[in-house]
Structure 1
Protein backbone atom coordinates (compact mmCIF):
# COMPACT_ATOMS: atom_id res chain seq x y z
CA UNK A 1 0.00 0.00 0.00
CA UNK A 2 1.00 3.65 -0.19
CA UNK A 3 2.84 5.32 2.65
CA UNK A 4 0.66 5.43 5.76
CA UNK A 5 0.01 8.84 7.30
CA UNK A 6 0.42 8.36 11.05
CA UNK A 7 -0.81 11.65 12.47
CA UNK A 8 -4.33 11.33 13.77
CA UNK A 9 -4.43 7.52 13.76
CA UNK A 10 -5.71 5.67 16.83
CA UNK A 11 -3.63 2.91 18.41
CA UNK A 12 -3.96 0.40 21.23
CA UNK A 13 -0.58 -0.70 22.68
CA UNK A 14 -0.38 -3.61 25.12
CA UNK A 15 2.44 -4.07 27.60
CA UNK A 16 3.00 -0.31 27.37
CA UNK A 17 4.31 0.31 30.89
CA UNK A 18 7.95 -0.36 30.00
CA UNK A 19 10.47 -1.72 27.52
CA UNK A 20 9.56 -1.94 23.85
CA UNK A 21 5.88 -1.23 24.49
CA UNK A 22 6.62 2.04 26.26
CA UNK A 23 9.13 3.04 23.58
CA UNK A 24 6.59 2.35 20.81
CA UNK A 25 3.93 4.34 22.65
CA UNK A 26 6.27 7.33 22.96
CA UNK A 27 7.36 7.11 19.33
CA UNK A 28 3.75 6.93 18.15
CA UNK A 29 2.88 9.92 20.35
CA UNK A 30 5.81 11.80 18.82
CA UNK A 31 4.26 11.14 15.41
CA UNK A 32 0.86 12.46 16.49
CA UNK A 33 -0.87 9.09 17.01
CA UNK A 34 -3.62 8.94 19.63
CA UNK A 35 -2.65 6.03 21.90
CA UNK A 36 -4.50 3.89 24.39
CA UNK A 37 -2.05 2.07 26.67
CA UNK A 38 -2.91 -1.25 28.32
CA UNK A 39 -0.78 -2.85 31.04
CA UNK A 40 -1.06 -4.16 34.59
CA UNK A 41 1.10 -1.54 36.34
CA UNK A 42 -0.99 1.59 36.80
CA UNK A 43 1.78 3.71 38.30
CA UNK A 44 4.14 3.06 35.41
CA UNK A 45 1.37 3.64 32.89
CA UNK A 46 0.75 7.03 34.47
CA UNK A 47 4.43 7.86 34.01
CA UNK A 48 4.28 6.91 30.33
CA UNK A 49 1.15 9.01 29.88
CA UNK A 50 2.96 11.98 31.42
CA UNK A 51 5.82 11.52 28.97
CA UNK A 52 3.43 11.43 26.01
CA UNK A 53 1.91 14.69 27.25
CA UNK A 54 5.33 16.31 26.98
CA UNK A 55 5.47 15.12 23.37
CA UNK A 56 2.22 16.91 22.58
CA UNK A 57 -0.12 13.90 22.21
CA UNK A 58 -1.30 12.67 25.59
CA UNK A 59 -2.11 8.98 25.71
CA UNK A 60 -5.03 7.41 27.54
CA UNK A 61 -4.56 4.39 29.81
CA UNK A 62 -6.46 1.29 30.86
CA UNK A 63 -5.00 -0.72 33.72
CA UNK A 64 -5.60 -4.37 32.96
CA UNK A 65 -4.29 -7.77 31.99
CA UNK A 66 -4.30 -8.80 28.34
CA UNK A 67 -5.20 -12.36 29.39
CA UNK A 68 -8.41 -11.13 31.05
CA UNK A 69 -11.39 -10.94 28.70
CA UNK A 70 -13.09 -8.23 30.76
CA UNK A 71 -9.96 -6.03 30.66
CA UNK A 72 -9.63 -6.51 26.91
CA UNK A 73 -13.27 -5.56 26.48
CA UNK A 74 -12.81 -2.46 28.64
CA UNK A 75 -9.91 -1.29 26.45
CA UNK A 76 -11.81 -1.83 23.20
CA UNK A 77 -14.94 -0.14 24.54
CA UNK A 78 -12.78 2.83 25.58
CA UNK A 79 -11.27 3.02 22.08
CA UNK A 80 -14.74 2.98 20.53
CA UNK A 81 -16.23 5.50 22.96
CA UNK A 82 -13.36 7.96 23.32
CA UNK A 83 -11.46 7.56 20.04
CA UNK A 84 -14.35 6.65 17.78
CA UNK A 85 -12.58 3.49 16.66
CA UNK A 86 -9.17 1.90 16.19
CA UNK A 87 -6.58 1.91 13.41
CA UNK A 88 -3.51 0.23 14.92
CA UNK A 89 -3.30 -2.70 17.33
CA UNK A 90 0.16 -3.27 18.83
CA UNK A 91 0.36 -6.70 20.51
CA UNK A 92 3.46 -6.27 22.65
CA UNK A 93 2.72 -7.71 26.12
CA UNK A 94 5.10 -10.53 26.96
CA UNK A 95 6.66 -12.60 29.73
CA UNK A 96 9.40 -15.23 29.83
CA UNK A 97 11.11 -17.82 32.02
CA UNK A 98 14.47 -19.59 32.06
CA UNK A 99 15.17 -23.22 32.82
CA UNK A 100 15.50 -26.61 31.21
CA UNK A 101 12.44 -28.33 29.82
CA UNK A 102 12.79 -31.57 31.82
CA UNK A 103 12.35 -29.87 35.20
CA UNK A 104 9.87 -27.26 34.00
CA UNK A 105 6.15 -27.20 34.64
CA UNK A 106 3.03 -27.07 32.52
CA UNK A 107 1.79 -24.17 34.68
CA UNK A 108 4.67 -21.90 33.62
CA UNK A 109 4.37 -22.95 29.98
CA UNK A 110 0.65 -22.21 29.95
CA UNK A 111 1.13 -18.85 31.68
CA UNK A 112 3.67 -17.78 29.05
CA UNK A 113 1.36 -18.85 26.23
CA UNK A 114 -1.59 -17.06 27.82
CA UNK A 115 0.27 -13.73 27.73
CA UNK A 116 2.52 -14.04 24.68
CA UNK A 117 0.15 -15.87 22.36
CA UNK A 118 -3.46 -16.26 23.49
CA UNK A 119 -3.69 -12.72 24.86
CA UNK A 120 -2.61 -11.32 21.48
CA UNK A 121 -4.83 -13.73 19.54
CA UNK A 122 -8.00 -13.05 21.50
CA UNK A 123 -7.49 -9.29 21.66
CA UNK A 124 -7.00 -9.27 17.90
CA UNK A 125 -10.13 -11.36 17.33
CA UNK A 126 -12.14 -8.96 19.49
CA UNK A 127 -10.59 -5.86 17.87
CA UNK A 128 -11.29 -6.89 14.27
CA UNK A 129 -14.72 -5.21 14.07
CA UNK A 130 -13.09 -1.89 15.01
CA UNK A 131 -10.11 -2.41 12.73
CA UNK A 132 -12.37 -3.21 9.76
CA UNK A 133 -13.81 0.29 10.15
CA UNK A 134 -10.39 1.88 10.75
CA UNK A 135 -8.20 4.11 8.60
CA UNK A 136 -5.27 2.21 7.03
CA UNK A 137 -5.66 -0.50 9.72
CA UNK A 138 -2.71 -2.62 10.82
CA UNK A 139 -2.04 -5.30 13.42
CA UNK A 140 1.52 -5.24 14.78
CA UNK A 141 2.76 -8.34 16.59
CA UNK A 142 5.97 -7.98 18.59
CA UNK A 143 7.59 -11.37 18.25
CA UNK A 144 11.24 -12.30 18.59
CA UNK A 145 14.11 -13.74 16.61
CA UNK A 146 13.53 -16.66 18.99
CA UNK A 147 10.31 -17.19 17.09
CA UNK A 148 12.48 -18.29 14.16
CA UNK A 149 15.34 -20.05 15.96
CA UNK A 150 15.11 -21.67 19.39
CA UNK A 151 17.85 -21.49 22.00
CA UNK A 152 18.36 -23.64 25.10
CA UNK A 153 16.70 -22.97 28.46
CA UNK A 154 14.02 -20.67 27.01
CA UNK A 155 11.92 -23.31 25.29
CA UNK A 156 8.59 -22.09 26.65
CA UNK A 157 9.25 -18.53 25.47
CA UNK A 158 10.58 -19.70 22.09
CA UNK A 159 7.52 -21.89 21.54
CA UNK A 160 5.16 -18.99 22.26
CA UNK A 161 7.00 -16.76 19.79
CA UNK A 162 7.08 -19.49 17.11
CA UNK A 163 3.31 -19.72 17.53
CA UNK A 164 3.00 -15.95 17.17
CA UNK A 165 5.09 -16.03 13.98
CA UNK A 166 2.99 -18.72 12.31
CA UNK A 167 -0.28 -17.11 13.34
CA UNK A 168 0.88 -13.71 12.04
CA UNK A 169 1.70 -15.15 8.64
CA UNK A 170 -1.65 -16.91 8.41
CA UNK A 171 -3.56 -13.86 9.59
CA UNK A 172 -1.80 -11.63 7.07
CA UNK A 173 -3.09 -13.74 4.19
CA UNK A 174 -6.63 -13.94 5.58
CA UNK A 175 -7.00 -10.20 6.18
CA UNK A 176 -5.35 -8.88 3.03
CA UNK A 177 -8.61 -8.73 1.10
CA UNK A 178 -10.12 -6.65 3.91
CA UNK A 179 -7.34 -4.08 3.74
CA UNK A 180 -5.95 -4.94 7.20
CA UNK A 181 -2.18 -5.32 7.19
CA UNK A 182 -0.16 -7.46 9.61
CA UNK A 183 3.38 -6.55 10.65
CA UNK A 184 5.58 -9.01 12.54
CA UNK A 185 8.51 -7.46 14.44
CA UNK A 186 11.23 -9.96 15.40
CA UNK A 187 13.88 -8.24 17.55
CA UNK A 188 17.10 -9.91 18.60
CA UNK A 189 18.79 -9.05 21.90
CA UNK A 190 17.16 -5.88 23.19
CA UNK A 191 17.81 -3.71 26.22
CA UNK A 192 14.24 -3.90 27.47
CA UNK A 193 12.59 -4.84 30.74
CA UNK A 194 11.88 -8.47 29.74
CA UNK A 195 14.27 -9.65 32.46
CA UNK A 196 11.92 -8.12 35.01
CA UNK A 197 9.09 -10.10 33.40
CA UNK A 198 10.72 -13.47 34.13
CA UNK A 199 8.09 -15.44 36.00
CA UNK A 200 10.62 -18.15 36.79
CA UNK A 201 14.43 -18.24 36.68
CA UNK A 202 15.90 -21.69 37.24
CA UNK A 203 18.99 -21.11 35.08
CA UNK A 204 21.14 -18.02 34.70
CA UNK A 205 21.45 -17.60 30.97
CA UNK A 206 25.04 -16.90 29.83
CA UNK A 207 23.86 -14.50 27.13
CA UNK A 208 21.53 -12.56 29.41
CA UNK A 209 24.14 -9.84 29.95
CA UNK A 210 24.86 -9.35 26.26
CA UNK A 211 24.51 -5.80 25.04
CA UNK A 212 21.60 -5.39 22.67
CA UNK A 213 19.94 -2.56 20.83
CA UNK A 214 17.81 -0.15 22.80
CA UNK A 215 14.05 -0.45 23.03
CA UNK A 216 13.92 3.02 21.48
CA UNK A 217 15.73 1.79 18.37
CA UNK A 218 13.31 -1.12 18.03
CA UNK A 219 10.42 1.32 18.45
CA UNK A 220 11.72 3.67 15.75
CA UNK A 221 12.17 0.77 13.34
CA UNK A 222 8.68 -0.51 14.16
CA UNK A 223 7.00 2.84 13.60
CA UNK A 224 8.87 3.31 10.31
CA UNK A 225 7.66 -0.15 9.25
CA UNK A 226 4.08 0.78 10.17
CA UNK A 227 4.38 3.95 8.13
CA UNK A 228 5.80 2.09 5.11
CA UNK A 229 3.44 -0.89 5.26
CA UNK A 230 6.11 -3.52 5.87
CA UNK A 231 5.17 -7.14 6.56
CA UNK A 232 8.09 -8.21 8.74
CA UNK A 233 11.23 -6.64 10.17
CA UNK A 234 14.22 -7.82 12.20
CA UNK A 235 15.32 -4.52 13.75
CA UNK A 236 18.89 -5.38 14.79
CA UNK A 237 21.94 -7.01 13.28
CA UNK A 238 22.35 -9.69 15.93
CA UNK A 239 18.93 -11.00 15.00
CA UNK A 240 19.71 -10.95 11.29
CA UNK A 241 22.98 -12.82 11.84
CA UNK A 242 21.30 -15.53 13.89
CA UNK A 243 18.57 -15.94 11.29
CA UNK A 244 21.11 -16.01 8.44
CA UNK A 245 23.32 -18.54 10.19
CA UNK A 246 20.34 -20.76 10.99
CA UNK A 247 19.22 -20.78 7.37
CA UNK A 248 22.71 -21.22 5.94
CA UNK A 249 24.07 -23.82 8.36
CA UNK A 250 21.45 -25.04 10.85
CA UNK A 251 23.61 -28.00 11.93
CA UNK A 252 26.44 -25.68 12.92
CA UNK A 253 24.04 -23.53 14.94
CA UNK A 254 22.66 -26.66 16.62
CA UNK A 255 26.21 -27.62 17.64
CA UNK A 256 26.92 -24.15 19.04
CA UNK A 257 23.66 -24.18 21.01
CA UNK A 258 24.41 -27.64 22.42
CA UNK A 259 27.81 -26.45 23.62
CA UNK A 260 26.24 -23.40 25.24
CA UNK A 261 23.77 -25.68 27.00
CA UNK A 262 26.54 -27.90 28.34
CA UNK A 263 28.54 -24.91 29.62
CA UNK A 264 25.47 -23.45 31.26
CA UNK A 265 24.80 -26.70 33.14
CA UNK A 266 28.41 -27.08 34.30
Structure 2
Protein backbone atom coordinates (compact mmCIF):
# COMPACT_ATOMS: atom_id res chain seq x y z
CA UNK A 1 0.00 0.00 0.00
CA UNK A 2 1.40 3.38 -1.06
CA UNK A 3 -0.17 6.68 -0.03
CA UNK A 4 0.28 9.89 -2.00
CA UNK A 5 0.74 7.70 -5.07
CA UNK A 6 -0.44 10.15 -7.72
CA UNK A 7 2.63 12.39 -8.06
CA UNK A 8 6.26 12.96 -7.17
CA UNK A 9 8.06 10.31 -5.15
CA UNK A 10 4.78 8.47 -4.52
CA UNK A 11 4.20 8.08 -8.23
CA UNK A 12 7.76 6.87 -8.71
CA UNK A 13 7.41 4.39 -5.86
CA UNK A 14 4.16 3.04 -7.30
CA UNK A 15 5.58 2.47 -10.79
CA UNK A 16 8.79 0.99 -9.41
CA UNK A 17 6.90 -1.39 -7.11
CA UNK A 18 4.72 -2.59 -9.97
CA UNK A 19 7.78 -3.04 -12.17
CA UNK A 20 9.42 -5.17 -9.47
CA UNK A 21 6.46 -7.54 -9.46
CA UNK A 22 4.64 -6.34 -6.35
CA UNK A 23 0.87 -6.31 -6.07
CA UNK A 24 0.25 -2.64 -5.42
CA UNK A 25 -2.57 -0.76 -3.78
CA UNK A 26 -2.16 2.92 -4.67
CA UNK A 27 -4.10 5.65 -2.91
CA UNK A 28 -4.23 9.42 -3.28
CA UNK A 29 -6.66 12.36 -3.29
CA UNK A 30 -6.34 13.34 -6.95
CA UNK A 31 -8.54 10.97 -8.96
CA UNK A 32 -7.30 11.95 -12.42
CA UNK A 33 -3.59 11.63 -11.60
CA UNK A 34 -4.17 8.43 -9.66
CA UNK A 35 -5.94 6.93 -12.67
CA UNK A 36 -3.00 7.92 -14.90
CA UNK A 37 -0.50 6.16 -12.61
CA UNK A 38 -2.62 3.01 -12.51
CA UNK A 39 -2.94 2.93 -16.30
CA UNK A 40 0.81 3.43 -16.77
CA UNK A 41 1.62 0.65 -14.31
CA UNK A 42 -0.84 -1.75 -15.96
CA UNK A 43 0.45 -0.91 -19.43
CA UNK A 44 3.89 -2.01 -18.23
CA UNK A 45 2.46 -5.30 -16.98
CA UNK A 46 2.12 -4.38 -13.31
CA UNK A 47 -0.55 -5.63 -10.92
CA UNK A 48 -2.19 -2.63 -9.31
CA UNK A 49 -5.44 -1.46 -7.78
CA UNK A 50 -6.32 1.99 -6.50
CA UNK A 51 -8.51 3.59 -3.86
CA UNK A 52 -9.30 7.29 -3.86
CA UNK A 53 -8.82 8.61 -0.36
CA UNK A 54 -7.51 11.26 2.01
CA UNK A 55 -5.31 9.98 4.84
CA UNK A 56 -6.59 12.75 7.10
CA UNK A 57 -10.15 11.38 6.94
CA UNK A 58 -10.97 8.47 9.26
CA UNK A 59 -13.63 7.07 6.93
CA UNK A 60 -11.13 7.02 4.04
CA UNK A 61 -8.46 5.33 6.14
CA UNK A 62 -10.93 2.61 7.14
CA UNK A 63 -11.98 2.11 3.52
CA UNK A 64 -8.40 1.85 2.27
CA UNK A 65 -7.39 -0.78 4.83
CA UNK A 66 -10.60 -2.75 4.28
CA UNK A 67 -9.93 -2.73 0.53
CA UNK A 68 -6.48 -4.20 1.13
CA UNK A 69 -7.91 -6.98 3.28
CA UNK A 70 -10.83 -7.79 1.01
CA UNK A 71 -9.04 -7.57 -2.35
CA UNK A 72 -5.49 -8.60 -1.52
CA UNK A 73 -6.14 -10.84 1.46
CA UNK A 74 -3.86 -8.83 3.70
CA UNK A 75 -0.90 -6.48 3.65
CA UNK A 76 2.87 -6.98 3.59
CA UNK A 77 4.12 -3.42 3.20
CA UNK A 78 2.75 0.01 4.09
CA UNK A 79 4.50 3.03 2.58
CA UNK A 80 3.39 6.26 4.25
CA UNK A 81 4.35 8.76 1.57
CA UNK A 82 1.53 11.34 1.45
CA UNK A 83 2.74 14.77 2.49
CA UNK A 84 2.20 18.49 2.14
CA UNK A 85 4.19 21.61 2.96
CA UNK A 86 4.33 25.38 2.97
CA UNK A 87 6.99 28.06 3.01
CA UNK A 88 7.07 31.37 4.79
CA UNK A 89 7.78 32.76 8.25
CA UNK A 90 5.81 31.08 11.03
CA UNK A 91 4.81 34.41 12.57
CA UNK A 92 2.90 35.50 9.46
CA UNK A 93 0.96 32.26 8.98
CA UNK A 94 -2.38 31.33 10.50
CA UNK A 95 -2.95 28.35 12.81
CA UNK A 96 -4.80 26.50 10.08
CA UNK A 97 -1.55 26.06 8.14
CA UNK A 98 0.13 24.28 11.04
CA UNK A 99 -2.87 22.06 11.70
CA UNK A 100 -3.27 21.06 8.06
CA UNK A 101 0.39 20.11 7.70
CA UNK A 102 0.36 18.10 10.93
CA UNK A 103 -2.84 16.32 9.87
CA UNK A 104 -1.40 15.21 6.52
CA UNK A 105 2.23 14.58 7.50
CA UNK A 106 1.84 13.18 11.01
CA UNK A 107 -1.63 12.32 12.29
CA UNK A 108 -2.76 10.73 9.02
CA UNK A 109 0.21 8.35 8.69
CA UNK A 110 0.06 7.45 12.39
CA UNK A 111 -3.63 6.57 12.29
CA UNK A 112 -3.36 4.68 9.00
CA UNK A 113 -0.50 2.71 10.51
CA UNK A 114 -2.60 1.90 13.57
CA UNK A 115 -5.31 0.41 11.34
CA UNK A 116 -2.83 -1.49 9.18
CA UNK A 117 -0.82 -3.12 11.99
CA UNK A 118 -3.16 -6.12 12.48
CA UNK A 119 -2.85 -6.97 8.78
CA UNK A 120 0.89 -6.41 8.75
CA UNK A 121 1.42 -8.73 11.72
CA UNK A 122 -0.04 -11.50 9.57
CA UNK A 123 1.90 -10.43 6.48
CA UNK A 124 4.87 -11.93 4.65
CA UNK A 125 8.13 -10.30 5.82
CA UNK A 126 6.10 -7.18 6.74
CA UNK A 127 7.37 -3.63 6.99
CA UNK A 128 6.17 -0.09 7.58
CA UNK A 129 8.03 2.62 5.65
CA UNK A 130 7.86 6.29 6.57
CA UNK A 131 8.87 8.64 3.77
CA UNK A 132 10.30 11.37 5.94
CA UNK A 133 12.54 14.26 4.86
CA UNK A 134 15.94 15.76 5.47
CA UNK A 135 13.86 18.47 7.16
CA UNK A 136 13.01 15.84 9.76
CA UNK A 137 16.72 15.51 10.56
CA UNK A 138 17.66 19.20 10.38
CA UNK A 139 14.88 21.79 10.51
CA UNK A 140 14.65 24.19 7.56
CA UNK A 141 13.79 27.85 8.26
CA UNK A 142 10.56 29.14 6.76
CA UNK A 143 9.44 25.53 6.59
CA UNK A 144 8.98 25.35 10.34
CA UNK A 145 5.63 23.54 10.37
CA UNK A 146 6.80 21.05 7.74
CA UNK A 147 10.03 20.43 9.65
CA UNK A 148 8.11 19.96 12.90
CA UNK A 149 5.78 17.41 11.29
CA UNK A 150 8.71 15.43 9.93
CA UNK A 151 10.59 15.52 13.25
CA UNK A 152 7.42 14.20 14.89
CA UNK A 153 7.17 11.44 12.28
CA UNK A 154 10.79 10.46 12.88
CA UNK A 155 10.20 10.24 16.62
CA UNK A 156 7.12 8.11 16.05
CA UNK A 157 9.09 5.87 13.68
CA UNK A 158 11.89 5.24 16.18
CA UNK A 159 9.47 4.38 18.98
CA UNK A 160 7.27 2.20 16.78
CA UNK A 161 10.32 0.32 15.51
CA UNK A 162 11.08 -0.92 19.02
CA UNK A 163 7.42 -1.70 19.72
CA UNK A 164 6.99 -3.78 16.57
CA UNK A 165 10.23 -5.76 16.92
CA UNK A 166 8.49 -8.47 18.96
CA UNK A 167 6.00 -8.92 16.10
CA UNK A 168 8.73 -9.12 13.43
CA UNK A 169 7.39 -6.03 11.64
CA UNK A 170 10.22 -3.83 10.38
CA UNK A 171 9.81 -0.05 10.65
CA UNK A 172 11.98 1.94 8.26
CA UNK A 173 12.56 5.64 7.66
CA UNK A 174 13.72 7.22 4.41
CA UNK A 175 14.64 10.92 4.34
CA UNK A 176 14.83 12.36 0.81
CA UNK A 177 16.54 15.67 0.15
CA UNK A 178 15.48 18.07 -2.58
CA UNK A 179 13.86 15.85 -5.20
CA UNK A 180 12.13 16.76 -8.46
CA UNK A 181 8.39 16.58 -7.82
CA UNK A 182 5.19 18.63 -7.71
CA UNK A 183 5.90 19.54 -4.10
CA UNK A 184 6.25 23.28 -4.68
CA UNK A 185 3.09 23.43 -6.82
CA UNK A 186 1.14 21.56 -4.14
CA UNK A 187 2.24 23.73 -1.21
CA UNK A 188 -0.41 25.40 0.93
CA UNK A 189 1.61 28.64 0.69
CA UNK A 190 4.85 29.62 -0.99
CA UNK A 191 6.28 33.06 -0.27
CA UNK A 192 9.89 32.41 -1.29
CA UNK A 193 11.42 34.99 -3.64
CA UNK A 194 13.19 32.29 -5.64
CA UNK A 195 12.26 28.70 -6.42
CA UNK A 196 14.46 25.90 -5.08
CA UNK A 197 13.63 23.75 -8.09
CA UNK A 198 17.07 24.24 -9.63
CA UNK A 199 18.62 22.73 -6.49
CA UNK A 200 16.58 19.52 -6.79
CA UNK A 201 19.35 17.15 -7.76
CA UNK A 202 17.46 13.84 -7.89
CA UNK A 203 14.49 12.80 -9.97
CA UNK A 204 11.52 11.12 -8.33
CA UNK A 205 12.27 8.01 -10.39
CA UNK A 206 15.84 7.84 -9.08
CA UNK A 207 14.59 8.41 -5.55
CA UNK A 208 12.05 5.62 -5.95
CA UNK A 209 14.72 3.12 -7.01
CA UNK A 210 16.93 4.03 -4.03
CA UNK A 211 14.00 3.83 -1.65
CA UNK A 212 13.00 0.37 -2.91
CA UNK A 213 16.60 -0.78 -2.58
CA UNK A 214 16.57 0.44 1.02
CA UNK A 215 13.29 -1.37 1.64
CA UNK A 216 14.50 -4.63 0.11
CA UNK A 217 17.70 -4.44 2.19
CA UNK A 218 15.67 -3.46 5.29
CA UNK A 219 17.80 -0.40 6.07
CA UNK A 220 16.44 1.13 9.24
CA UNK A 221 17.26 4.71 8.16
CA UNK A 222 18.32 6.13 4.80
CA UNK A 223 19.06 9.69 3.68
CA UNK A 224 18.91 10.58 -0.02
CA UNK A 225 20.82 13.10 -2.16
CA UNK A 226 24.39 14.21 -1.55
CA UNK A 227 23.29 17.60 -0.23
CA UNK A 228 20.86 15.96 2.14
CA UNK A 229 23.54 13.68 3.55
CA UNK A 230 25.97 16.59 3.88
CA UNK A 231 23.41 18.73 5.69
CA UNK A 232 22.62 16.01 8.22
CA UNK A 233 26.29 15.20 8.80
CA UNK A 234 27.51 18.78 9.13
CA UNK A 235 24.56 19.66 11.39
CA UNK A 236 25.56 16.87 13.72
CA UNK A 237 29.16 17.99 14.16
CA UNK A 238 28.97 21.76 13.44
CA UNK A 239 25.49 22.86 14.50
CA UNK A 240 26.41 26.52 15.08
CA UNK A 241 27.91 26.80 11.61
CA UNK A 242 24.73 25.42 10.07
CA UNK A 243 22.62 27.78 12.20
CA UNK A 244 24.51 30.76 10.74
CA UNK A 245 24.17 29.46 7.19
CA UNK A 246 20.46 28.84 7.68
CA UNK A 247 19.97 32.37 8.97
CA UNK A 248 21.76 33.76 5.91
CA UNK A 249 19.67 31.53 3.67
CA UNK A 250 16.34 32.67 5.08
CA UNK A 251 17.29 36.38 4.96
CA UNK A 252 18.13 36.05 1.28
CA UNK A 253 15.19 33.92 0.22
CA UNK A 254 12.49 35.68 2.23
CA UNK A 255 13.95 39.15 2.74
CA UNK A 256 10.79 41.00 1.64
CA UNK A 257 8.24 38.82 3.38
CA UNK A 258 8.00 40.78 6.63
CA UNK A 259 7.65 44.09 4.78
CA UNK A 260 4.94 42.69 2.53
CA UNK A 261 2.98 41.17 5.39
CA UNK A 262 3.18 44.28 7.58
CA UNK A 263 2.11 46.59 4.76
Q: Distance in 1 between matches of 2:165 and 2:47?
A: 31
Distance 1:53 1:168, change over 3 A: same
Contact 2:214 2:222 in 1 (8 A): yes
The question of 1:58 aligning with 2:47 is answered yes
TM-score calculated relative to the size of structure 2:
0.94
Cα contact 2:173–2:221 (8 A) shared by 1 = yes
* 2:182 paired residue number: 193
Aligned residue for 1:137?
126
Equivalent position of 1:157 in the other structure:
146
- 1:261 and 2:263 are equivalent in the alignment: no
Decide which of 168, 172, 176 is 1:183's aligned counterpart: 172
Does 1:72 pair with 2:69? no
Q: CA deviation at 1:75?
A: 0.9
Give the gaps of 5 or more residues in structure 2: 257-263
The within-5 A match list for 1:83-94 is 83-94=72-83
Q: 1:259 to 1:44 in 2, by over 3 A?
A: same
Counterparts of 1:123-134 in structure 2, within 5 Å, are 123-134=112-123
Mapping for residues 1-266 of structure 1, pairs under 5 Å: 12-204=1-193, 207-264=196-253, 265-266=255-256
What's the CA shift for 1:55?
2.4
TM-score, length of structure 1 as denominator length: 0.93
**Gapped runs of 5+ residues in structure 1?**
1-11
Q: CA deviation at 1:58?
A: 2.9
Residue 211 of structure 1: how far off its partner (Å): 3.0
Aligned length: 255
- Moved >6 Å (runs of 4+): none
List per-residue Cα deviations over 1:4-45 (Å, max 9, x = no partner). Answer: xxxxxxxx1000001000100111101110011110111111
* Distance change in 2, residues 1:236/1:173 (3 Å): same
Residues 153 and 205 of structure 1: is their aligned pair in 2 closer, same or farther, counting only changes over 3 Å?
A: farther
3-state SS of 1:96 partner:
coil
Using the TM superposition, give the Cα deviation of residue 162 of structure 1 relative to its aligned residue in structure 2, in angstroms: 0.5
State the Cα RMSD in Å: 1.1
Contact 2:184–2:190, Cα closer than 8 Å, also in 1:
no
